[in-house]
């Protein structure tokens, strides 16, 4: 993990209220991988807390993130221009790891959850795995990342809550409707808490024994396991830090 001064290379909208930013790294960083995240300053003394954002793509010299402009911090981030400097702690968290025998992979994704999943697709491209992707957005204007999913997936179901793009349904319903065809060895999911809860309930109702890993979003402070702002409850009664012990957990392990 490093705390670096990074330089914005580009920062532009890719969908309604969503920006993509690429920044350059001043040195090589070990351990960049899918599902891990960065904790990025927003470049303003009034907003001291850094913002956690998933790594979407990376090279030896650059990292690309995509973020929804939500509150004051991400609004400030959206105003950054090429050449501006930010401070960034990276890489953080555990990330997604596929076992060798996990060949058929179902991705159940909602909203800005697409960005960590794009990093999974890129990381495991060329490993002979079959990805089946079920992606839900609020409406057509929010759709983004489609190209990356279509390029790497055997099957893609892209749906919206209001039916303005694709079928009018949600990612979890689309996944279960296709479950018998997808035949996943493993399920990876990232999206809003209600979506993860629906996925967990659906797996339990159907008695599905396929391993399922979810990436959680919690409010964060330090991002490195020291402040306990991000703790979540585990099914066994213990507590875990989403930033350090996660953000990826086995779905049965966490209380959603």
Ligand X SMILES: Cc1cc2nc3c(=O)[nH]c(=O)nc-3n(C[C@H](O)[C@H](O)[C@H](O)COP(=O)(O)OP(=O)(O)OC[C@H]3O[C@@H](n4cnc5c(N)ncnc54)[C@H](O)[C@@H]3O)c2cc1C
| Positions in the binding site for ligand FES (CB under 6 A) | 220-223, 225-230, 241, 243
- The binding track of 141-180 with respect to ligand X, each residue x by CB under 6 A or -, is ----------------------------------------
Q: Does 73 bind ligand X (CB under 6 A)?
A: yes
What residues between 86 and 105 interact with ligand X by CB under 6 A? 93
- The binding track of 2-31 with respect to ligand X, each residue x by CB under 6 A or -, is ------------------------------
Residue 3 C-beta: closest distance to ligand X, Å = 17
* Of residues 52 and 110, the one with the C-beta less far from ligand X: 52
* Of residues 107 and 230, the one with the C-beta less far from ligand FES: 230
Q: Does 52 bind ligand X (CB under 6 A)?
A: yes
Report how far residue 78's alpha carbon sits from residue 98's, in angstroms, rounded to the nearest whole number: 33
- Residue 221, sorted as left (phi over 0), alpha (psi -120 to 50) or beta, turns out to be alpha
Q: Does 67 bind ligand X (CB under 6 A)?
A: yes
* Of residues 177 and 229, the one with the C-beta less far from ligand X: 229
Q: Does 51 bind ligand X (CB under 6 A)?
A: yes
Using the Cα atoms of residue 82, residue 54, residue 231 and residue 245 in order, give the sign of their dihedral.
negative
Side-chain-side CA neighbours of residue 107 (13 Å): 33
Report how far residue 144's alpha carbon sits from residue 79's, in angstroms, rounded to the nearest whole number: 20
Considering CB distances under 5 to 8 angstroms, the limit depending on partner class, which of ligand X, ligand FES, none binds residue 115? ligand X
Report how far residue 71's alpha carbon sits from residue 166's, in angstroms, rounded to the nearest whole number: 29
Q: Does 231 bind ligand X (CB under 6 A)?
A: no
Q: Provide φ and ψ at 116, rounded to 5°.
A: -60, -30
Considering CB distances under 5 to 8 angstroms, the limit depending on partner class, which of ligand FES, ligand X, none binds residue 240? none
Q: DSSP readout, 132-148?
A: EEEEEESSGGG---HHH
Consecutive H or E run containing 58: strand 57-58
* Contact by Cβ (8 Å): 189, 213: yes
Considering CB distances under 5 to 8 angstroms, the limit depending on partner class, which of ligand X, ligand FES, none binds residue 37? ligand X
Q: Do the strands 130-137 and 153-160 form a parallel or antiparallel pair, or are they unpaired?
A: parallel
Residues found near ligand X in the complex (CB under 6 A): 37, 49, 51-54, 66-68, 70-74, 93, 112, 115, 217-220, 247
């Amino acid at each position: 993990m490093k705390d670096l001064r990074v330089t914005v290379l580009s920062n532009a909208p890719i969908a309604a209220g969503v920006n993509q930013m690429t920044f350059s790294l001043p040195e090589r960083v070990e351990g960049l991988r899918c599902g891990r995240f960065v904790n990025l300053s927003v470049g303003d003394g009034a907003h001291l807390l850094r913002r956690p954002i998933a790594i979407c793509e990376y090279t030896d010299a650059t990292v690309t993130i995509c973020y929804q402009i939500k509150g004051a911090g991400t609004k400030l981030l959206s105003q950054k221009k090429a050449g501006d400097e930010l401070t960034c702690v990276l890489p953080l968290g555990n990330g997604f790891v596929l076992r060798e025998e996990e060949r058929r992979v179902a991705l159940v994704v909602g909203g800005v959850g697409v960005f960590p999943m794009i990093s999974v697709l890129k990381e495991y491209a060329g490993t002979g795995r079959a990805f089946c992707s079920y992606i839900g957005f609020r409406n057509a204007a929010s759709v983004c990342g489609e190209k990356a999913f279509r390029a790497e997936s055997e099957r893609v179901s892209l749906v919206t809550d209001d039916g303005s793009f694709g079928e009018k349904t949600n990612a979890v319903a689309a996944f279960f409707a296709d479950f018998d065809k997808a035949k996943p060895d493993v399920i990876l999911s990232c999206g809003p808490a209600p979506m993860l809860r629906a996925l967990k309930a659906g797996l339990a109702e159907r008695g599905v024994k396929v391993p399922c890993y979810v990436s959680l979003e919690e409010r964060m402070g330090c991002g490195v396991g020291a402040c306990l702002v991000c703790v979540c409850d585990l099914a066994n009664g213990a507590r875990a830090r989403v930033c350090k012990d996660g953000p990826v957990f086995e779905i049965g392990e966490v209380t959603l």
